[in-house]
Amino acid sequence: MVETTEELDYSDIAPRIKRSNKEISDMETNILELQYKLEVNKPPKLTKEEIRPYLYELHQTLLHSSIVEQRNFIRSFIQKIHIDKESATIEYTFPLNPKNSSKKEVLVLGTSGRP
């Protein structure tokens, strides 16, 4: 153990300080990247009136399709279903319209949802 600062050789601690500063810098960069990802991936806030046209189109797609097409369509956007005793959670992505060859999303925000 060093008893006085006169015995301390800064060349001994400089590499350790440099490594520590790099670790701090890397962590700060990671924090900024994670904050950006959180901000970008926030789900949009929608009202019932905004959702209604999407539900109508989804209903029409399912209503006018065969059982096989309905099953494939639902499987194309349902990722997981979690069922607890008192609740259920469905993980999904916006479905693609199976009749639309351009592969535009059915649930494009800010439009009627029709291709």
- In angstroms, the CA 8 to CA 12 distance is 8
Report the predicted TM-score, pTM, of the whole model to 2 decimal places.
0.36
- Does pLDDT of 10 surpass 50? yes
The burial of 98, by beta-carbon neighbours within 10 Å (0-12 exposed, 13-18 middle, 19 or more buried), is given as middle
Q: What is the pLDDT of residues 97-112, one digit of tens each?
A: 444 434 434 343 343 4
- In angstroms, the CA 14 to CA 37 distance is 35
- Does pLDDT of 90 surpass 60? yes
For residue 24, the model assigns a pLDDT of: 94
Output the average pLDDT for the chain. Answer: 75
Q: Where are the domains of the chain?
A: 5-40, 45-115
Q: What is the pLDDT of residues 50-88, one digit of tens each?
A: 888 878 888 888 899 899 988 888 887 788 888 888 888
